Structure 1
Amino acid sequence: MEMATFETLLQLLRPHLPTRTVSIEKKVLSHLWFLGNKESFRSVANRFNLSKGTLHATFFEVCEALKVVRPQIIYWPNRNEQARIVEGFLNRTGFPGVVGCIDGSYIPIPGPLEHRADYICRKGFPCIQLQAVCDHQLRFLDILTGWPGSVHDARVFRNSPLKQVLENGRLEEEFHLLGDSAYSLTTYMMVPFRDNGHLSEEEANFNGRHSSTRVVIERSFGLLKAKFRRLFYLDMQLVDKVPLVISSACCLHNFILVNEKNDVEGEFQNEEQNVDDPNVDDPYQKMLHRL
């Protein structure tokens, strides 16, 4: 995150954060640092000269502030914006009518002691689901999180507010989302042909174009987790607070993309390469020294 972006974020959150004894700058910086690194809670508290209790309180204060401003950062596009997104997908991949790509991602957690089996995903570890729709620039248009890992993607979607939005005509008739085979084919959801080993040339070509377009949502999740490395394993015992933390990271993901007009391809590659490289300068460390 650039310094100018950080200052803009402070202006957005300032009306929703209490001042008391810890400055707003330190609250937001410690929040960014905690999400962006894999340090222990105690280590982060020491870094910012805070007690563990204070860091815990200020971290969730920022989460709550981001929840308040979330409608300004993650929102369903209007008709003009939908047309712009469709044009963006068409120029990138040649697939017409795409207003967004949808998928789910697992956010690993330790798992609660009670009903632990409900949180075990098909990959064998406890997690919380994150469903998201993104545009061609990796920006989230809609997110839903909080469902346990054992729940299928299709069930999460069926019970999501997004489904009601789509069924109520919030898409132009010729526009649609792209989803994988976990979702059902509808007028607003385009899914690939089921590969039974006997696909025609046209069907195989469609699936290839579909996959190369839909991969953008995987890249959005990849960039989200590369920037906010805490999401690789969110070590939290308070399961009810996990969705709030995930949502705050998604808000920050969008905020950075909107306010920093960098090349997304290069940004993603650099972040992915630097995830575990201790020699790479941390931008939050630089901001900490400047404040």
Structure 2
Amino acid sequence: MMRGEHIERPLTRRQITSRGYDYIHKALNDDPAIFRQVYRMYPDVFRKLCTIIREKTPLEDTRFICVEEMLASFLQIVGQNTRYCVIRNTFGRSQFATSENFHKILKALNSLAPDLMVRPDSTVPAKIRESTRFYPYFKDCIGAIDGTHIPASVKGRDVSSYRDRHGNISQNVLAACNFDLEFMYVLSGWEGSAHDSKVLSDALARKNGLKVPQGKYYLVDCGFPNRRKFLAPYRGVRYHLQDFAGHGNDPENEKELFNLRHASLRNVIERIFGIFKSRFTIFKSAPPFLFKTQAELVLACAALHNFLRKECRSDEFPVEPTDESSSSSSVLPNYEDNDHEPIVQTQEQKREDVNI
């Protein structure tokens, strides 16, 4: 569909209101920059997503509303953190209909999520292949893994288990990404008090969980054990990028050199979290839904993120620092949990190889 063309109306003209149809039709044909600001994507990308939803999910136009309006109201909620009462007035729908349409789009996006998650391949990532700092030392690395906390709304006696180390009620979301800022795996719904390594173990144990190809590995931080398929930095050694910034702060030994290169590559997971939370501002505060819906919403928006990276790779929202990336710690804690898998010799060799 080209600029200026009309959205095809639902099959019958019997509609409760045409306000929503008229609103989104006008928005699609106005300034693309304004549309992108409100709906987090450009009009042509929005139209393509509507086509995919119609073709690959059971969702379709009804007698009363088209997919475009349902998607637009959903995107305004997740992109602007807009409440139902505002959407109701904007599109001329009842609060019940607004909620129903939101959950229809949520279900459709989650059904698309498996196909939108990027699968690892055997090629060396360009970021590594094209840099003498990283190649050949990290040639088997396929991405980075970390957890991020998203504010949660939880009621009942289980509230305390969702309280994270900062004292906030949150869900702990585990994500893996590649060096093109695309999600490869997302596991949401864990309590904020859960340790990252526990969430990772759950991801690996699930039937359709996280898979790591033979001979490949992800970069992880000190919150995870250093073990096969997951390469962590040296403990008790400077690690964070800001620790090496400025004159006179260059690495002083092989372990610091490894940690600097490791941190430089692993920073991609902090960037993707920053873009994700900047694009979908609903995650800056506790979403006003049942917790099950809050967890599903994370996966749906991760799928949306990947779709947008594919369709318009240069369109990045300003990265905002996350709690994980703004850590002021200059030295990694020197401890090992008893239930962690011990570091094997092959992992030590991988870390030593980086210093060649």
Contact 1:178 1:214 in 2 (8 A): yes
Tell me the residue number matched to 1:217.
Answer: 269
Give the drift of 1:246. 1.0
**How many percent of aligned residue pairs carry the same amino acid?**
26
Tell me the residue number matched to 2:47.
Answer: 7
Residues 103, 272 of structure 1: alpha-carbon distance in 2 compared, 3 angstrom cutoff: closer
Question: 2:146 is paired with a residue of what secondary structure?
Answer: strand
In the TM superposition, what are the counterparts of 1:38-57 in structure 2 within 5 Å? Answer: 38-57=81-100
Contact 2:74 2:105 in 1 (8 A): yes
Tell me the residue number matched to 2:311.
Answer: 259
Tell me the residue number matched to 1:179.
Answer: 220
Distance 1:131 1:124 in 2: 19
Structure 2: unaligned runs, 5 residues or longer: 1-40, 239-250, 322-356
Residues 66, 164 of structure 1: alpha-carbon distance in 2 compared, 3 angstrom cutoff: closer
Match of 1:114 among 153, 157, 171: 157
Contact 2:220 2:266 in 1 (8 A): yes
Contact 1:93 1:209 in 2 (8 A): no
Deviations 1:195-226 (A, max 9, x none): 168x9710011111111111110110100010
Tell me the residue number matched to 2:25.
Answer: none
Structure 1: unaligned runs, 5 residues or longer: 274-291
Q: Is 1:202 paired with 2:244? A: no
Q: How many residue pairs align between the two structures?
A: 262
Distance 1:100 1:88 in 2: 10
Give the drift of 1:182. 1.1
Distance 2:287 2:207 in 1: 33
Distance 2:132 2:170 in 1: 33
Question: 2:300 is paired with a residue of what secondary structure?
Answer: helix
Distance 2:152 2:260 in 1: 34
Tell me the residue number matched to 1:89.
Answer: 128
User: What letter is aligned with 2:82?
Assistant: E
TM-score w.r.t. length of structure 2:
0.68
TM-score w.r.t. length of structure 1:
0.83
Tell me the residue number matched to 1:152.
Answer: 195
User: What letter is aligned with 1:219?
Assistant: R
Residues 243, 92 of structure 1: alpha-carbon distance in 2 compared, 3 angstrom cutoff: farther
Give the drift of 1:185. 1.3
Point out the structure with max Rg over C-alpha. Answer: 2
Distance 2:51 2:111 in 1: 14
The root-mean-square deviation of aligned C-alpha atoms, in Å, is: 2.4
Distance 2:284 2:258 in 1: 33
Question: 1:210 is paired with a residue of what secondary structure?
Answer: helix
Moved segments of 4+, more than 6 Å: 162-168
Higher mean displacement: 224-233 or 70-79: 70-79
Give the drift of 1:162. 7.2
Higher mean displacement: 43-52 or 176-185: 43-52
Distance 1:93 1:181 in 2: 25
Distance 1:93 1:179 in 2: 21
User: What letter is aligned with 1:11?
Assistant: T
Higher mean displacement: 93-102 or 58-67: 93-102
Greater RCO, 1 or 2 (C-alpha within 8 Å, sep 6+): 1
Distance 1:132 1:53 in 2: 33
Distance 2:204 2:121 in 1: 17
Give the drift of 1:106. 0.7
